[in-house]
Amino acid sequence: MTAIALGRTRRTSLVSAVCALVVTGTGLLAGCSEDPDGGTNGVGKLPADKIQSKTRAAAESAEAVRLAGTVVTNGRTYTLDMRLKSGGGSGTVTSKGVAFGLLRIGEQLYLKAGAEFWNHADGNTSAGGTLDGKYVKVPQGDPSYKKFSGFTDKDVLLDGLLTLHGALATDGHHEQAGTRTIRITGDQGSGGTLDVSLEGTPYPLRLQRAGGAGTLTFSSWGKDFPLTQPKKDETVDYGKKLPTS
């Protein structure tokens, strides 16, 4: 637990203890009911649609973000751990128990995986030995380019993810990784839930997608990171249509 979170817990416990002991004829003394929005950025007092517009604007304007969790699409579950910014992104994706790395710098996309990935995807055991641990250039004209590059595109990925379906409403104050949040829901939760930071910029911190389509956490908002071009001896051209396992 962070020092901030620990301090907040102790403060809350102290207030609760004092309020439990000091009672007037009409109930607890004034001030014993702590304002959940006290010392926050104030978005917790806004209606749900305003909170959503503010958190989307904050996400769009941020230079970088890290997202981690699961996304279910077309019946397949992907586990992501990606760092993204306007110029590209990098990280790992796991599907059907097999992990692979993605790196995009500008328009150039690389896929890096072990022999298990290539043997499974290609059905050719010799390919695994050749491509094992190498950065494979993904041709822009290949169907897999669009599929994989979407995992590395901050704007495309967030625009598709940060959407709640149905009527919006607030669902109380919560906490995510030691940060106070306000939760908004779509269709009373069946359309997804989104926890928005009440501290500093109102960034989205946790998303539960509608219909059990995955849960993601967002962190490192605005924290830049390097995108390094792979060395020549670490890069290979696949030489034919790339498999899309």
Say whether 184 sits in a helix, a strand or coil: strand
| 93: CB partners within 8 A, 6+ apart | 78, 79, 80, 82, 99, 100, 101, 102, 148, 151
CA distance linking residue 212 with residue 210, whole number of Å? 6
Could you give the angle at which helices 48-61 and 154-161 cross, rounded to 10 degrees? 170
Q: pLDDT at position 24, please?
A: 39
Q: Tell me: the pLDDT tens digits for 176-208?
A: 999 999 999 999 999 999 999 999 999 999 999
Task: Sketch the domain layout of the chain as residue ranges.
Answer: 1-32, 43-62+159-219, 79-153+226-237
The percent of residues in the chain predicted with pLDDT above 90, rounded, is 64
What pLDDT does residue 144 have?
85
102 close to 82: Cβ distance less than 8 angstroms: yes
Q: Which two tokens stand for residue 57?
A: 């604007």
Distance CA 197, CA 206 (A): 9
Residue 238: its pLDDT value, please? 66
Q: How far apart are CA 1 and CA 242, in angstroms?
A: 45
* DSSP strands (E only) in the chain: 23-24, 27-28, 64-73, 76-85, 88-95, 98-105, 108-113, 135-138, 168-176, 179-186, 193-197, 204-208, 215-219, 235-237
Instruction: Please enumerate in sequence order all residues whose Cβ is within 8 A of that of 61, keeping only pairs 6 or more positions apart, or say none.
Output: none
Alpha-carbon distance of 144 to 154, in angstroms, equals 18
User: Of 63-67, 70-74, 112-116, 236-240, where does mean pLDDT reach its minimum?
Assistant: 236-240
| pTM: predicted TM-score of the whole model, two decimal places | 0.81
Phi, psi at residue 20, to the nearest 5°? -70, -30
Answer whether residue 31 shows pLDDT above 80: no
176 backbone dihedrals φ, ψ, rounded to 5° = -135, 115
Give alpha helix (H) positions in 22-172.
Answer: 48-61, 115-122, 125-131, 143-149, 154-161
